[in-house]
Amino acid sequence: MKKYIAHLTSLTPYAQGRYHDLPKLEREQPEAYDKRTYLHRLHTSLGKVYIPPMAFKKCIEETASYLRMQIPGQGKATYTKNFKRGVLCNEPFLLDLTPEQTRLERIFTSLTPGKMNSPRGWRHFPVIDQWEGNLEITILDDIITEHVLRRHLEIGGQITGIGVWRPSSPNGGLWGKFKVLGMTGQEVEV
């Protein structure tokens, strides 16, 4: 088992769209409700914003599925199943940012997230213009080398992305892109 630390930085703004079920005020219109509660779309802990580790896990998995990079010496077998089963991102990607330090962005987009051709309207999202930090990745499958992991993470940061309105979202977007500045790894005892 290996543990890698990938130093990442944003290339484009990043927005979060966490589900919340705050009650509406009496006679509150949907757009007013959306604007009033936009900060509740953020993932926070102890007053700081974080990027959920599953955002990066899903980014890597989706990239592996798209690339279908073949495993040397195993015929037509690809890394897709190895990334799904053999990669863990358990620790939140902590940002030194409070919810109030994000900015509000109004976007004309799908009113039903994740569905193509759904009705469109105005939605409000908390946006982080720049971020940087370290992502901890645990590799349980020895077939995934540092080179293969880094390649998938680098390409994923460009074509898949994370968060709301990322390149791989159903409606295709421009946000959530990132790049890998560096990566270090070490063997870990089970």
Convert the pLDDT of each residue in 92-138 to its tens digit.
999 999 999 999 999 887 777 666 677 888 889 999 999 999 999 99
CA dist 141 and 139 (Å) reads 6
- Nearest CA to 43 among 160, 164, 135? 164
Query: What letter would DSSP give residue 102?
Result: S
Convert the pLDDT of each residue in 129-182 to its tens digit.
999 999 999 999 999 999 999 999 999 999 999 998 899 987 778 999 999 999
Of 44-53, 81-90, 129-138, 171-180, the poorest mean pLDDT is in 171-180
pTM over 0.85: yes
Distance from chain centroid for Cα 9? 12
Q: Which DSSP string corresponds to 163-174?
A: STT-TTSTT--S
Q: What is the mean pLDDT of the chain?
A: 93
Measured at the alpha carbon of residue 56, what is the angle toward residues 52 and 60, in degrees to the nearest 5? Answer: 160
- Nearest CA to 78 among 144, 137, 139? 144
Average pLDDT value for residue range 47-59 = 97
pLDDT on residue 135: 98
pLDDT on residue 115: 67
Per DSSP, the three-state class of 111 is coil
Average pLDDT value for residue range 84-88 = 96
Distance from chain centroid for Cα 98? 19
pLDDT on residue 88: 96
